């Protein structure tokens, strides 16, 4: 069905009348994926982010085979790739064996692509290297992760 006013297509789906219990139950995995699509963060994730010490950050997988997985960034260099020895091991052929590095710079982090075949993306833009902002989406192959620096560092940076 097309709306002549803006040429936008819509589809109508018949829904049975609501009777009785209206509670919707979702699996934990589906709920995590839904929250990721909405940009939401679970209470457990909020607690983990709030507990981060200064100079550290958290990457949370939002899309990909291990959606919901969390990776702590607390060293000067963190490797990302399909090689089993990578600090962040992403087991999928869309990820190069040595795909990228996350480099701590003071209280911030940069991502640097290591010549990967499918590239590294920040906010949907392919990058060779980029500074990561709070809440940035980073993509390695088909994995999409959200970057959360320590709240201590976010507050300190806002006061500068």
Q: What SS3 state is found at 34?
A: helix
Rounded-to-integer distance, Cα 100 and Cα 112, Å: 5
In a domain, 136, yes or no: yes
CATH number of the structural domain spanning residue 115: 2.60.200.20
Structural domain boundaries, residue 120: 55-158
Mean pLDDT of 60-69: 92
User: How confident is the model over 11-36, as pLDDT tens digits?
Assistant: 565 655 656 655 555 555 444 444 44
Please tell me whether residue 149 adopts helix, strand or coil conformation.
strand
Say how many domains are in the chain. 1
Does pTM surpass 0.95?
A: no
Q: Is residue 15 assigned to a domain?
A: no
Residue 152 lies in a domain: yes
Buried b or exposed e, range 89-103, using 16+ CB within 10 angstroms: bbeeebbbebbbbbb
C-alpha atoms less than 13 angstroms from C-alpha of 23 in its C-beta half-sphere? 2
The answer to whether 131 touches 123, Cβ cutoff 8 Å, is: no
Whether 27 is covered by a domain: the verdict is no
Q: Is the pLDDT of residue 8 over 80?
A: no
Which pLDDT belongs to residue 158?
80
The rounded distance, in Å, linking the Cα atoms of 41 and 24 is 19
**pLDDT of amino acid 29:** 47
The larger pLDDT score, comparing residue 156 to residue 34, is at 156
In a domain, 83, yes or no: yes
For residue 113, the model assigns a pLDDT of 98
Does 156 have pLDDT greater than 60? yes
Terminal C-alpha separation, the chain: 53
In this predicted structure, the answer to whether residue 117 has a pLDDT above a threshold of 70 is: yes
pLDDT, tens digit, for every residue of 137-150? 999 999 999 999 99
Q: How many CB atoms lie within 10 A of CB 107?
A: 16
In a domain, 4, yes or no: no
Identify whether 19 is part of a domain: no
Residue 113 domain flag: yes
């Amino acid at each position: 069905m097309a709306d002549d006013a803006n040429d936008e297509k819509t589809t109508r789906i018949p829904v049975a009348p609501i009777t009785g219990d209206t509670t919707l139950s979702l699996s934990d995995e589906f709920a995590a994926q839904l929250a990721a699509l909405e940009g939401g963060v679970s209470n457990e994730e909020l607690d983990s982010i709030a507990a981060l010490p200064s100079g550290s950050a958290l990457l949370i997988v939002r899309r990909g085979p291990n959606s919901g997985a969390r990776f702590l960034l607390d060293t000067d260099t963190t490797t990302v790739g399909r090689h089993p020895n990578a600090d962040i091991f992403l087991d999928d052929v869309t990820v190069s064996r040595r795909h990228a590095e996350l480099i701590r710079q003071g209280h911030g982090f940069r991502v640097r692509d290591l010549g990967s075949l499918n590239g590294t993306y920040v906010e949907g833009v392919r990058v060779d290297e980029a500074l990561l902002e709070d809440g940035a989406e980073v993509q390695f192959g088909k994995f999409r992760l959200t970057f959360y620096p320590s709240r201590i560092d976010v507050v300190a940076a806002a006061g500068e």
